[in-house]
Each structure stands twice: as structure tokens, then as C-alpha cells.
Amino acid sequence: MRNLEPKAVWENFYQLTQIPRPSGKRKQIADFFVNYGKSLGLETLQDEIGNVLIRKPATPGMESHPGVILQAHMDMVPQKNGDKVFDFEKDPIEAYIEDNGQWVTANGTTLGADDGIGAAIAMAILADKNVVHPPLEALFTIDEETGMFGANDLKGGWLQGKYLLNLDNEDEGELCVGCAGGIDTTATFAYQPVDTEEGDIALRIELKGLKGGHSGCDIHLQRGNAIKLLVRVLKDAVANYEARLASIDGGSLRNAIPREASAVITIPADSYQDLQDMIDRYEDLYLREYAGVDDGITLKATEVECPKTEIPEEIQDCLIHALTLCPHGVYRMIPERPDVVETSNNLAMVKTVEGKVTCYCLTRSSVESRKEELQSIIQSAFSLAGAEVVFTGGYPGWQPNFHSTLQQKMVETYKKEFGEDARVVIIHAGLECGIIGSKYPGMEMIAFGPTIKHPHSPDERVEISTVAKTYRYVEAILKAL
């Protein structure tokens, strides 16, 4: 990988794969960027929360041009396959080249190209003495993936540039000029455990093999949600096989579509074979329903040690009904752009811990009123079931400005460099641009980058040829501005 072109970009990316940087573990990666800026002899600043800003003076003759900010986030989504032994807080990413040199991917985990490759490009530009550019800043933000905390806590007045180039879009040739806002929902069912029925046996039901993916970029692909599929099974087991629920767990991140889910249930011993037959039927059903979309689904029930306690029946039933009702997937497309998702919800996680079952959702929309409408639906589903519902982490969408000087220059430059038209788009994923824009009114922004497939999942990969193309494009844009 380190021998790929541009070598500086790939060397930087390799260094990033060697540093554990899951969201929330910010010190080591932030120190890396601070040391990088200082090693270049450039002005390097760090704010109270950990964001890093590196300033590079304009090349001669460009001093009077408006300043440009290259922006990327430091953290990555820590997702791995169930059979992969890996510690995201200690282990380096095992990146490798596949498909005859077309892609870089990772062995059983997320790659971190989102947004490590964007950060690597910004780093290479800072070091490149041949790039012609206006006054330049590179902003590396913390913890984008878990709530955009770096952008949320960014101070007004810290940045000096007029134009911001966000390097966190994932389709080369796209210029993103708007994105969805979002908000997190946490619904908690509290209960006093009850004793397990004497003579019952316990089974762990596990649903695996789904592709999952990014809850913004991939939400329209109709992939299965492991929690929703498991709840269908549980509802049937409770209704027809005298099952009782002891625990349920699924998903791992608010912004990733759940790939795996499991539950421990108890049943009368004489229902064992009937329940196994039901599990087999559902596995066959899901493989048919998701043929061509999620072909690797597995659903298994394994006998385990019987727990001493379980969830009270009334809480169990309310939980299952609420999870059944909770919307997941696309809620509405943009009427003027029917190929773009306007509003969606990701039923992201469910966790059972010490007398509580907690459910987590991430709702996205480019229209604030539609986001509030879907929030209300989710709230009703859980509140009627007796859960405590809390909303947190709301962030604004990024409203497009189709007539900005920056957009005009970037469209013209792309056509000049590559002989084809760039695609100006609005995306459903969340970007930091909306938050940064709220702190810096009038700043013009565009998001773009090389092609990354299946971010937020162990299938994540970056297309090698588009990295060089993106670097060339950044060089051309800086010269044009």
C-alpha cells in the first residue's frame, strides 16, 4: 500500500492505520496530528476539546486570495466480523490491496478510509512544496462518527478561511453541497427481574451474516436490520412457544445498520424441537426475502445455561411490540430529487444491562419538520410501551447554496482537469459542514473525496485510482481559488 501513488498520501494513510483511533479514543491520534504539523514547521494549534488546526502560508503571489480550509475527521468507526479477534483500542488495521490492485480494504474490520484517506490527502497537501495555494488551513476534528463532537464544540473565530473543502464524501466525481441533520433517540425499559420458571431450558438465538453499512449512505439499499429480524422471531416464539425473554442485544453503533443481534430466551423443555423447527423456517424465510441483498444470513438457536432471572412478561411484551413498531429505513424521499433520501431512521442498537433494556435510534432528515415528525412517531411507539424516551445529540442539516462562488469554481475546475462534468449532489449522510457553517455564517463549503464503498462495515474499501484523481483535483482547486 505504501508504494501506491501518490506515495505521500498512501504513506500518511498507512501511518493512520497503525494508530488506534475509534471514536472516543482521541489523545493518541490528536497528538499524531499535532506532531505532524510541528514536524513541518507550520503553525499548529489545538483547542480544548482536541481539534487540531495547522496553518500553511500562501505561496508567493497568492497571499491576497481568500483562505481555504481542508477539513477531515480523525476518528473511525470500529466494526468487525463476529469471528474476527481484534481490539480497536490496541491493534493496527490490517490493510491490504485486493481485486488486482483496484481497491484497498481491511482484514475483517473497517478500514478507516472514512475519513482517514481524506485526512491523509490534507496532510500530503500541507507537506507538498509544489502545490500553489492561497492561505491554507487544515482542520482535523475529533469524534465525528459518534456525534460530531469536534464540530459541535468548534469555536467561532478560530478559522480564518473563506472556503472550506470537506474531504469526507465517498463518491469521486460528486460535489456535495448539502446533507441531512440528525438526532439520537434513547428509549429505556427499566424492570425488576423475575425468577425463571422451574424446569425451563434456555436458548441463545443469534442472527448474523448481514451486510449492515452506513445508516445514511446505505439506508436506501433495503438491507436487513438484525434487530428487526430477530424481533420478528421473538414475537412468534413468545406468542406460540411459551418463550420468555431474558435478554436481547444487537447492533454496536448509532450510525451503522445492525449486522448482528442475539437474545436469550427460556422455554419449556418439551418445546425445544418445535422452536428449533421455527428457527429453521425463519432462516429459510429471511434468505428468500433478502436474496440478492443479504445472502449470508444465518439464524441459530443454541442451548445455554439457564439464567436465574428474566424480564417480566409485561415488560417483555411491551418491548417486543415497541421494537416491532419502531420504524427503520427510508421514511421519505426528496420530492424534487426522488433518488435522494430525505428522512430515515436507523434502529441502531438494543442492549440489556442490569434491569434495563435500552434501545437507540438515529433519525436523519434534510427537512427539520420531517425529522421532528419521525421523532414523534418513534417517541409514541416507545412511550406507549412504557419506556423513558430521551432525545440527544441533535445537529442541523446543511442547506445547499447552488450559486456559491466555490461551487462554480469547483465545477469549472473538474471539467477542465478531467474533461467531464462533476455531479452536484445532496446526500443523506451527516457531514460536519452544517455545524461548522452555523458557527461561520457566509463560509462557502463543498464536500468531496475518493470513492469509498461500504463505510461503517467490515466490507469498507477505497478505490485506489480515485485517490490519485482526488489529490490532483485538490491541487487544481487550490490553484484556481
**Residue 75 bears catalytic tag:** yes
C-alpha cell recorded at residue 188: 429505556
CA-closest candidate to residue 144, choices 46, 78, 73, 77: 73
CA separation for the pair 145, 130 (Å, rounded)? 33
**Residue 99 bears catalytic tag:** no
CA separation for the pair 223, 216 (Å, rounded)? 12
Q: What are φ and ψ of residue 22, in 5° steps?
A: -65, 155
Contact 147, 182 (CB under 8 A): no
Q: Could you give the dihedral angle defined by the CA atoms of residues 346, 147, 389 and 324, in that order, rounded to the nearest 10 degrees?
A: 10
CB-based burial, 267-299: b 16+ in 10 Å, e otherwise: bbeebeeebeebbeebbeebbeebeeebeebeb
One-letter amino acid of 166: N
C-alpha cell recorded at residue 110: 473497517
CB-based burial, 64-96: b 16+ in 10 Å, e otherwise: ebebbbbbbbbbbbbbbbeeeebebeeeebebe
Question: Which residue, chain included where needed, has cell 498507512?
Answer: 14
CA separation for the pair 115, 123 (Å, rounded)? 12
DSSP single-letter state for residue 5: S
Q: Pairing relation of β-strands 461-463 and 452-453?
A: antiparallel
C-alpha cell recorded at residue 213: 453499512
**Neighbour count for residue 311 (Cβ, 10 Å):** 25
DSSP single-letter state for residue 384: T
CA distances from 171 to 23, 181, 223, 425 (A): 23, 20, 20, 10
CA-closest candidate to residue 322, choices 255, 246, 388, 394: 388
Q: What are φ and ψ of residue 209, in 5° steps?
A: 90, 5
**75, 115, 206, 432: the active-site residue:** 75
**115, 144, 200, 432: the active-site residue:** 144
Contacts of 354 (CB under 8 A, 6+ apart): none
DSSP string, 159-222: ---SEEEE----STTEEEEEE-EEEEEEEEEE---EEPPTTEEEEEEEEE----EETTTTGGG-
Catalytic annotation, residues: 75, 144
